[in-house]
Structure 1
Amino acid sequence: MTEKTENKELVQEDVQVENESTETEAQAVVEEQVELTIEEQYEAKLAELQAKLDDEENRHLRLRADFDNIRRRQQVEREAAEKYRAQNLLTDLLPVLDNFERALQIEPTSDEAASIVKGIEMVYRSLIEATEKEGLQVIKAEGEQFDPNVHQAVMQEQDSEKETGVVVRELQKGYILKDRVLRPTMVSVNE
């Protein structure tokens, strides 16, 4: 072989070695970029999944809080329903109590009428005891300071012996069931 051929071969080998090293370096750079891209993809996917997990945890906590609020509200409603279970019945019985009181105001004129009044009085007392067991109470009015929460003023009177705003007369009894006014007391108030 001639020297020219040998040099040519050596140059080709150098070029080939140089090309191989350049290809290897290029391949290493590509692989490194692919690895970075894969890592970035994993990190992005991880961040996305973490965000979804956080959203679901927040949603779960809100739902749990809503559920607790609903449960508490239902408990309060059940307690109120139990506490005031007799309200409708007692409201319907108020006119009956009024009629008994009117009947008891009549003065008997004979022994027979006195015996009927006595029987009415016994029934009335039984009815009052039963309603008191359920929590029904009469609202005190006469001589009390007027309270618009429990009294209904239907007229005014002039009484110099009493202070202004004091209930002078009770015109119709009012009743409270536990802490709820069933019917306000109709009153006449001093000017």
Structure 2
Amino acid sequence: MVKEAVEEAKKAASEAEAEKPEAEAEEQKSSEEAAEQAEADKEEASEGKKGKLFGKKKKDKKDEKIEELTDRLTRQMAEFDNFRKRTEKEKSQMYEIGAKDIIEKILPVVDNFERGLAAVAEDDKEDPFVQGMDKIYKQLMTTLDGIGVKPIEAVGQEFNPDFHNAVMHEENEEAGENTITEEFQKGYMYRDSVVRHSMVKVAN
């Protein structure tokens, strides 16, 4: 009986020893599967994160409409601003042209005043009528100066075709080269543009 008990114990130990490698193999297999599953879950989570970061979210129709209307409004505002600037520039140019045209018509009156006053004899300069004409002439010149009309300097200046119109030439040793020695008709500028060139004589 004792012998049978010993045999059974040996058999049980032998079976337990045989089952041990199988259990270890099963445990190792389970560990490997768990590791693989964890790696797969990690990759899936990473892909999901990338999708959130780089994926394009579909826009709502309302947002698209708002963007479209905003873009259209911005373009129209820019077009209106360009139109306003262009209109202001054209208005300014039209004003300049109109003002120059009127000034050009007034200048012959100024010329006649100057010729008339220059022809007055010294004895007649105290005459009330002559003094009255002189005051009107000065008032006219002050008004023209106030709106930006200035006479062009000529005598003693170097000839400049932008401001002067040479109608005569002379050799004059006392005058410098290309110098204006005489003015036949006074020239005028309106702001930065010439209304009438000075008619002059140029030396050398």
TM over 0.5: yes
Residue among 182, 197, 202 paired with 1:169? 182
TM (norm. structure 1) is: 0.61
Unaligned runs of 5+ in 2: 1-69
2:194 matches 1:181: yes
Q: Which residue of 1 aligns with 2:152?
A: 139
Which is greater in Rg?
Answer: 2
Partners in 1 of 2:124 and 2:197 — Cα distance?
37
Q: Is the 8 A contact 1:155 1:187 kept in 2?
A: yes
Aligned in 2, Cα 1:111/1:177: closer, same or farther, shift over 3 Å?
A: closer
Partners in 1 of 2:74 and 2:114 — Cα distance?
59
Partners in 2 of 1:171 and 1:163 — Cα distance?
19
Shift of residue 111 of structure 1? Answer: 5.3
Structure 2: which amino acid aligns with 1:176? M
2:161 matches 1:148: yes
Give the match's secondary structure for 1:96.
helix
Q: Is the 8 A contact 1:108 1:114 kept in 2?
A: no
Alignment of 1:75-94 (within 5 A): 75-82=88-95, 86-94=99-107
Alignment of 1:84-163 (within 5 A): 86-108=99-121, 114-163=127-176
**Superposed CA offset, 1:65-89 (max 9, x none):** 6554433221222234455653222
Unaligned runs of 5+ in 1: 1-56
Shift of residue 159 of structure 1? Answer: 0.9
Partners in 1 of 2:162 and 2:82 — Cα distance?
31
Sequence identity percentage:
35
Task: Give the total of aligned pairs.
Answer: 148
Q: Is the 8 A contact 2:124 2:130 kept in 1?
A: no
Q: Is the 8 A contact 1:163 1:190 kept in 2?
A: yes
TM (norm. structure 2) is: 0.58
Give the CA RMSD over aligned residues. Answer: 3.7
